[in-house]
Amino acid sequence: MRILVTGGAGFIGSNFVRLILRNHPDDEVVNFDALTYAGNIENLADLKDNPRHTFVHGDIASTRDVARVFRGQGIDAVVNFAAESHVDRSLHMGPRVFIRTNILGTQILLDAARKHRVQRFLQVSTDEVYGSLGPTGAFTEATPLQPNNPYSATKAGADFMVRAAHHSHGLNAVITRCSNNFGPYQFPEKLIPLMIANALADKPLPVYGDGLHVRDWIYVEDHCSGIDVVLRKGVAGEVYNLGGNYDVPNIQIVKGILKLLGKPDSLITYVKDRPGHDRRYAMDNTRARTELGWQPAHPFDDALRETVNWYVAHQTWWQRIVSGEYRKAYDQMYGWRDKE
Ligand code: NAD
Ligand code: DAU
């Protein structure tokens, strides 16, 4: 299978590309990414000479760029990771770029997938589209969509466009909705890598509100294996929830990181809450487990320890992000191609 992976220079996308190349020796990946602030070509450094991996620099919200990547590539399947993914940015910097990439970009990909008779389209979505839970229960695939922030509203919009492309035009499309990921290559603006980086620098760890907001956490490798299974075995038109069965308050995660690093709890600083902060997420992943035979394989404590060790061992990787140096890496690795 020749898979077009969009957003494959980001956190989850780069982990997914690696998983495909490792587990499916006959598959090829065309990796299409705009390299926004969140895209980092250094995440793909070890794949530079892999003949089954081709990187194409482009924007999913540009009809021209998308036409260029489909033309003559023989794409069998699309897995769409490309998105503006950070809730705080959607709140504080405005939703325009979220609407452009997450909704318009997804629609442009759907149109191209139909035109080129792609056999499978997988939309990588999020549990955030369901909104917030009360003190009990978990999201199922039948939970109504009630997104509460601009990011999740645009992801829900994209989900509806994918559903419409399947229902109206018969596109073979599936949607995965996953909970909070953590692991190697996560941009240090998200909770876990930010807390690790700050703790290592003995800087304050900013916990929003009372720190009792609950998220379900899943190791990125388990999310990627779930996407891989849904890509190959999911029923067209269906949604599959993926989650790690580990829903805990944020403060527990932050204290766990401090403990692993041998740093004091006094670094924790409670700060002003995120506007409209969703109180609790929890995922019911029964469908993916019983119908597709998928399940998360990494116990949380082991995966968090491995993740903390990864950030300790890869301080140059995230320090180049913090300093902005990483943005020069594309020119060094691939810039000559754009100039041809
Ligand atoms: P990320 O921000 O780390 O990566 C996003 C990638 O998309 C970057 O490489 C970026 O350059 C690229 N991109 C952005 N706009 C683009 C555009 N217009 N054209 C082409 N490429 C573009 O995000 P992530 O955390 O890896 O999330 C990937 C996907 O998974 C997103 O769709 C997100 O909504 C979804 N998701 C994330 C989580 C999570 O916990 N991180 C959980 C569930 C679902
Ligand atoms: O649930 C899936 C979603 O998880 C994905 O769709 C998003 O792309 C991804 O960014 C993530 O969204 P969250 O808003 O849940 O992730 P974030 O890491 O920003 O925050 C996790 C929790 O930690 C949330 O309750 C807010 C809190 N938080 C976050 C930051 C960055 C803090 O308390 N302090 C912080 O500095």
In terms of domains, do 118 and 63 share one? yes
pLDDT of 339 higher than 60: no
> Is 127 designated active site?
yes
| Residue that is written with structure tokens 């876990």 in the block | 192
Residues 205 and 148 in one domain: no
Does the annotation mark 128 as catalytic? yes
Query: What's the rounded mean pLDDT across residues 67-72?
Result: 94
DSSP 163-179: HHHHHHH---EEEEEE-
Share of the chain above pLDDT 70, in %: 97
Give the pLDDT confidence score for residue 326 in this predicted structure.
86
Close Cβ partners of 240 (under 8 Å, ≥ 6 residues apart): 141, 174, 175, 176, 177, 226, 230, 234, 287, 288, 292
Mean pLDDT in residue range 234-253: 98
207 and 130, same domain (yes or no): no
Looking at the structure, tell me whether residues 162 and 195 fall in a common domain: no
Can you read off the two tokens belonging to residue 294?
Answer: 């998928």
Task: Compute the mean pLDDT over every residue in the chain, rounded to the nearest whole number.
Answer: 96
pLDDT at 180 over 80: yes
Distances, alpha carbon 4 to alpha carbons 54, 91, 154, 207, in Å: 10, 30, 22, 37
- Residue 3: is its pLDDT beyond 60? yes
* DSSP symbol at 71: T
Q: Which of 28, 59, 84, 151 is catalytic?
A: 151
Banded pLDDT at 335 (limits 50, 70, 90):
low
Query: 65, 127, 159, 221: which is the annotated catalytic residue?
Result: 127
Q: What pLDDT does 106 receive?
A: 99
Residue 311: active-site member: no
Question: Distance (Å, rounded) from C-alpha 63 to C-alpha 92?
Answer: 28
- CB neighbours of 67 closer than 8 A, spacing ≥ 6? 112
The distance from CA 145 to its chain's CA centroid, rounded to whole angstroms, is 19
Sign of CA dihedral 199, 202, 205, 206: negative
Please choose from 127, 187, 215 the residue to mutate so as to test ligand 2's pocket, defined by most ligand atoms within 8 A of CB. 215
Q: How many structural domains does the chain have?
A: 2
pLDDT at 336 over 70: no
CA distance 246 to 299: 9
pLDDT for 328: 81
Range of the domain at 257: 191-214+246-277+299-329
Mean pLDDT value across residues 131-160: 98
Mean pLDDT of 215-242: 98
Q: Taking the model in full, what pTM does it have?
A: 0.97
Q: What would the DSSP string read from start to end of 262-330?
A: T--GGGEEEEPPPTT---B--B--HHHHHHH-----S-HHHHHHHHHHHHHHTHHHHHHHHHTGGGGHH
Domain with residue 320: its CATH number is: 3.90.25.10
93-109 pLDDT per residue, tens: 999 999 999 999 999 99
- Helix 150-169 to helix 106-115 angle (10° resolution) is 20
> Which pLDDT belongs to residue 334?
63
Question: How many A from CA of 7 to the centre of ligand 1?
Answer: 6
Q: How crowded is residue 206: how many other Cβ atoms within 10 Å of its Cβ?
A: 15
Has residue 50 been placed in a domain? yes
Predicted local confidence at residue 21, as pLDDT = 98
Asked if 210 and 221 sit in the same domain, the reply is no
Residue 340 confidence (pLDDT): 42
Same domain for 222 and 122: yes
Residue 131 falls within a domain, yes or no? yes
Q: Give the binding-site residues of ligand 1, using a 6 Å CB cut-off.
A: 6-7, 9-13, 33-36, 38-39, 59-61, 81-85, 101, 105, 124, 126, 155, 178, 180-181, 187
Residues 6+ apart with CB under 8 A from 153: 95, 147
Which CATH number covers residue 125? 3.40.50.720
